[in-house]
Every structure is written in structure tokens, then in C-alpha cells.
Amino acid sequence: MAKDKDSNIRCSQPDFRWQNVEQMPYKEEGSAPFKAISRQILFADSALRCELRYIA
């Protein structure tokens, strides 16, 4: 069971990145304040209906 738990661990890396986490645009539709901002989903659980996101 500890092995499954460890697979959820994400290590931080330089330039506001997280290990093995895809970097996606935050919002692209016309909103100037949100351009060039990225989001990374660090944890998601559909049973809990939640996500932990890192916005940079």
C-alpha cells in the first residue's frame, strides 16, 4: 500500500514545475490578465470531487 501512496508524491523542480506533471495553459480565452499563466494538476480524485492545482 505504501507504494501506491508514494506514486502521488510530486517533487518540485526549477522554474515553478513539478515532477511528472503536465503544464497546461490556465485560461486562454481573451482575458488579458490570465495570458502566459500555467496550471498543473498535482492531485485529482473523482470520488472526492476535488483537484489540487498549482497556478504559476
pLDDT digit string, tens, across residues 2-56: 444 556 677 777 777 888 888 888 877 766 677 778 888 888 999 999 998 888 8
Domain extent at residue 37? 2-55
Task: State the pLDDT at residue 29.
Answer: 72
Task: State the pLDDT at residue 42.
Answer: 87
The cell 526549477 sits on which residue?
Answer: 14
Task: State the pLDDT at residue 33.
Answer: 75
pTM of the predicted protein model: 0.61
CB neighbours (10 Å) of residue 45? 10
Query: Can you spell out the DSSP letters for 1-56?
Result: -HHHHHTT---EETTTEETT---EES--SS-GGGTT-EEEEEEEETTTTEEEEEE-
